Structure 1
Amino acid sequence: MPPRAARPPRCPRCNLAIHLCLCAEIPRVETRTRVLLLQHVMEVAKRSNTGRVAALALTNAKLLIHGAMVDAFDPAVLCEPGTWLLFPDGPTAPPDAPAPRQLVVLDANWSQARRMSQRLPALRTLPRLVLPPPEPGMLRLRETSHPSGMSTLDAIARAVALLEGPEAAAPLVRLAALRVQRIADCGTLN
């Protein structure tokens, strides 16, 4: 059996292979809503990690790691007034509720996100922002195990569009499409 080819080096910032690096294309997106990305520890090293790219683009974002014993985050940040959870299931906020000041986004695969939402008591009490299902023909690298599933970057772009308008979300939408196109053109995440 021939030896396995070495993987190309990755960009230390966006974590994609150097030939796919998006760093020069990452916009600076200002939002009123603070985005708190709660990333599952298993997502940190993944090349497909769009949560990291979203955190780089959003000026009002913070990325915290869940499940890392060394850098355990303080769950009190989830209890700040005006905090909502972006999640496809559960109790939605009342229609007359003020817009969230902070939106928690779980950056994980569907089963990890579901477990996080069940294991962190503060998340169970938050009002939910539920996105409509993705439009047919939306560019994706792969199908997800949840009917409303999409990449973290796509979900954040759609949430920003709902909360702050399509113009605010447009740079994130373009970045998500560019990422998918670049990877599809190369046929790999390596």
Structure 2
Amino acid sequence: MSSPVPPRPRCLRCNLPLHLCLCAEIPRVETRTRFLILQHVVEIPKKSNTGRVAALALANARLLTYGAPAEPLDTALLSEPGTWLLYPDGPTAPPDAPAPSQLVVLDASWSQARRMTQRLHALRTLPRLVLPPPAPGTLKLREPTHPSGMSTLDAIARAVAVLEGPEAAAPLERLAALRVQRIAECGTLN
């Protein structure tokens, strides 16, 4: 009987195994839109988590934890004027509405994100930025469980493209593609 293979050491900043570390490749992306990334506590230790990487890349982002008993969430941040929610369904903003000044992004599985929107009243009332489903052939690590599913980093890159133009989103798109490529070449997240 063979002994289990110990996990590879991980980068403390990007949370990937050291041989896949993206820290040297993380761009600094300036946006007019402020991104409030609401990360479910269960996502924090996952090597597959991209919310942390997105927060490192965005100069105008804040990463908050949802569901940690010792860290109560300040829900007033979700009610600031001009705040929208990046989510695939729900009340969209009127076509003539000004662009959001703050976009809340849920960094969670689909079932966790659905529960977060049910439990946080402020999220239920926000206008939604709805992205179209990813194009066929888009690089991804696994098949999403939702038709509009994509990683948090991919979703933020697409939201930046919609709100601020493709040039602003290009560094995030390159980072997302590089992440998928490195992991796919290695064949594992261990």
Check whether TM > 0.5.
yes
Return the offset for 1:123. 0.1
Consecutive unaligned residues of structure 2, counting only runs of 5 or more, are none
Report the counterpart of residue 62 of structure 1 in structure 2.
62
| Alignment RMSD | 0.5
Matches within 5 A, 1:154-173: 154-173=154-173
Return the offset for 1:91. 1.1
TM-score using structure 2 length = 0.99
Report the counterpart of residue 20 of structure 1 in structure 2.
20
The one-letter code sitting in structure 2 at the alignment partner of 1:101 is S
**Distance in 2, Cα, partners of 1:3 & 1:112:** 34
Consecutive unaligned residues of structure 1, counting only runs of 5 or more, are none
Report the counterpart of residue 146 of structure 2 in structure 1.
146
**Distance in 2, Cα, partners of 1:47 & 1:72:** 24
Give a deviation string over 1:34-67, Cα, whole Å, max 9, x none.
Answer: 0000000000000001000000000000000000
Give a deviation string over 1:62-96, Cα, whole Å, max 9, x none.
Answer: 00000001111200000000000000011111000
**Distance in 2, Cα, partners of 1:127 & 1:98:** 11
Report the counterpart of residue 174 of structure 2 in structure 1.
174
Aligned residues: 190
Report the counterpart of residue 137 of structure 2 in structure 1.
137
Report the counterpart of residue 53 of structure 2 in structure 1.
53
Moved over 2 A (4+): none
TM-score using structure 1 length = 0.99
Report the counterpart of residue 11 of structure 1 in structure 2.
11
